[in-house]
Amino acid sequence: EPEVTQTPSHQVTQMGQEVILRCVPISNHLYFYWYRQILGQKVEFLVSFYNNEISEKSEIFDDQFSVERPDGSNFTLKIRSTKLEDSAMYFCASSFGTVGNQPQHFGDGTRLSIL
């Protein structure tokens, strides 16, 4: 069964550095998402992306964050100047559509640790 893949599985970065998290969504999916889960807390929506632009974003997704689909397969999340509170598990997801019968499929996540 096709799956969403994320790399790296664990990223350790110094505070203030830029980090790029990478995702390969399921190939025929059209909608892409990033979520994060701070340790011990709920999974939170960050951003959704369709047709090469952001369709929705949450209050968390401020100017420090950006997303890109640089080619036909990758979907990236960039954090420009990382803060300690950016430490979390970041999940990428994709779906074929956004109507009620289209589930979102998630990757295994990237654990981001900011030192």
Partner 1 sequence: KQEVTQIPAALSVPEGENLVLNCSFTDSAIYNLQWFRQDPGKGLTSLLLIQSSQREQTSGRLNASLDKSSGRSTLYIAASQPGDSATYLCAVLSRGDTGRRALTFGSGTRLQVQP
Q: How crowded is residue 7: how many other Cβ atoms within 10 Å of its Cβ?
A: 13
How many Å separate Cα 67 from the centre of its chain?
A: 8
15 or 54: whose CB is closer to partner 1? 54
Sorted by sequence, the CB contacts under 8 Å of residue 90 that are 6+ apart come out as 6, 21, 34, 35, 36, 77, 109, 110, 112
Q: Say how far apart CA 9 and CA 71 lie, in whole Å.
A: 21
In whole angstroms, the minimum distance from the beta carbon of 69 to partner 1 comes to 19
Under DSSP, the state recorded for 63 is T
In whole angstroms, the minimum distance from the beta carbon of 16 to partner 1 comes to 27
In whole angstroms, the minimum distance from the beta carbon of 47 to partner 1 comes to 9
User: Which residues are at the interface with partner 1 (CB under 8 A)?
Assistant: 4, 6, 33, 35, 41-45, 48, 55-58, 91, 93, 98-101, 103-109, 111
In whole angstroms, the minimum distance from the beta carbon of 81 to partner 1 comes to 25
58 or 76: whose CB is closer to partner 1? 58
32 or 33: whose CB is closer to partner 1? 33
82 or 110: whose CB is closer to partner 1? 110
Sorted by sequence, the CB contacts under 8 Å of residue 17 that are 6+ apart come out as 81, 82
